[in-house]
Amino acid sequence: MSGRAWAAKERLARGDAAPLLGLGVLVVIWGLSVPVMKLGLESISPFTLAALRYLAAAPCFILFLFSQPLPPRRLLLGMVGLGVLGVDLGQATQIAGLAYTSAALATVITATIPLFTVLLAAFKLRQKLLPPHTLGFILALAGIACAVIGAPGALAGGGLLGILLLLIASISIALYYVLGTAIALRTNALVVAAWSSLAAVPGLAALSLFELSRVPFHPSLSGLFVVLYLGVLTTVAGMWLWFTGMRRLPARIAASTQYLQPLIGVAASAAMFGDKIGPLFGVGVAAVLGGVALASWPTRKQVKGQCRRSNASSS
């Protein structure tokens, strides 16, 4: 075994297993987020739930930003734009779409976010699009079609509208990741997450006030728990665990954990709401996960970059 390999093994033994464990916890937290969100919708209207989520997260982000220097004006404006595009639009359409679909189907559609991230990065960040990426996109779309057909009543009522809203949300959130990456290259990624989340609060609050003028507000105890779960665990702790893992582990390892989230979400949806998961729905889930895996296939340049970063950290 080479000296670098021994060094990597020693680092893992003396504490670098912590970020890997953190990513394992994150898989559960983010995997349960869609079913938990669906639970919150039983007593809290969609836009109000989204607004309360980020209001609950806001104090944590504010405390964090006190220890950080103020970003340059141009970067700060970029983060505000991210908040409007990725958080306001992304979260509003996601939670509105979830109100019209089952939690299991919403989880499968949400799993396409990494797929759209790869496609958008190919244009915005000029990352090469390989044949496996295109095949992955086609396979994931076919998987969504199978999941829709295999989910009883998926197109009934406002089901089709819900599916379209969830796809818009996935594209919006993917665009947030791509544009956020470009900004994060010039500052701290957690700073980008904090400022963009805070910038989204006014827009979500306005949607909530409009909604509350027409819908009564009578949250249950479970609804309040959902607000804290989404705000503190999913948003604040989730982002911290994710960026910690990305800094201390190879990107391929951190990204691979994302494939487990839909499995947890679908299983939790079946247990919590009795969502029926037939054979065709299962085929759709497998196709979406396979498509996302193919779409995440690294280019040769990315592999070399990851190797250089890994070797630099072990020396």
Q: Kindly state whether residue 14 falls inside one of the protein's structural domains.
A: no
pLDDT value, residue 292: 81
Q: Kindly state whether residue 120 falls inside one of the protein's structural domains.
A: yes
Q: What is the mean pLDDT of the chain?
A: 84
Q: Report the share of the chain in percent with pLDDT over 90.
A: 45
Within the chain, residue ranges assigned H as helices are 3-11, 17-31, 33-40, 46-66, 73-82, 90-98, 103-110, 113-124, 131-150, 159-184, 189-212, 221-228, 238-248, 251-256, 261-273, 279-295, 300-314
pLDDT digits (tens, 9 = 90+) for 241-293: 888 777 776 665 666 677 778 888 988 998 998 887 788 898 888 988 888 88
Q: Kindly state whether residue 252 falls inside one of the protein's structural domains.
A: yes
Q: Kindly state whether residue 18 falls inside one of the protein's structural domains.
A: no
Q: Kindly state whether residue 16 falls inside one of the protein's structural domains.
A: no
Q: Is 157 left (phi over 0), alpha (psi -120 to 50) or beta?
A: left
Q: Enter the tokens of residue 48.
A: 């109000």
Q: Kindly state whether residue 19 falls inside one of the protein's structural domains.
A: no
Q: Kindly state whether residue 5 falls inside one of the protein's structural domains.
A: no
8 A C-beta contact, residue 104 and residue 190: no
8 A C-beta contact, residue 199 and residue 80: yes
- Residue 153, classed as helix, strand or coil, is coil
Q: Enter the tokens of residue 255.
A: 């990204």
8 A C-beta contact, residue 37 and residue 226: yes
Q: Kindly state whether residue 71 falls inside one of the protein's structural domains.
A: yes
- Closest among 93, 101, 99 to 151, alpha carbons compared: 101
Whole-model pTM above 0.75?
Answer: yes
Q: Enter the tokens of residue 30.
A: 């983010």
- Residue 231 sits in which domain range? 30-314
Q: Report the share of the chain in percent with pLDDT over 70.
A: 83
- Residue 87, classed as helix, strand or coil, is helix
- List, in order, residues 6 or more apart from 48 with CB less than 8 Å away: 208, 211, 212, 215, 217
Domain count, the chain: 1
pLDDT digits (tens, 9 = 90+) for 25-47: 998 999 999 999 999 999 999 99
Longest dimension (CA), the chain: 67
Question: According to the 3-state scheme, what is the secondary structure of 203-271?
Answer: HHHHHHHHHHCCCCCCCCHHHHHHHHHHHHHHHHHHHHHHHHHHHHCCHHHHHHHHHHHHHHHHHHHHH
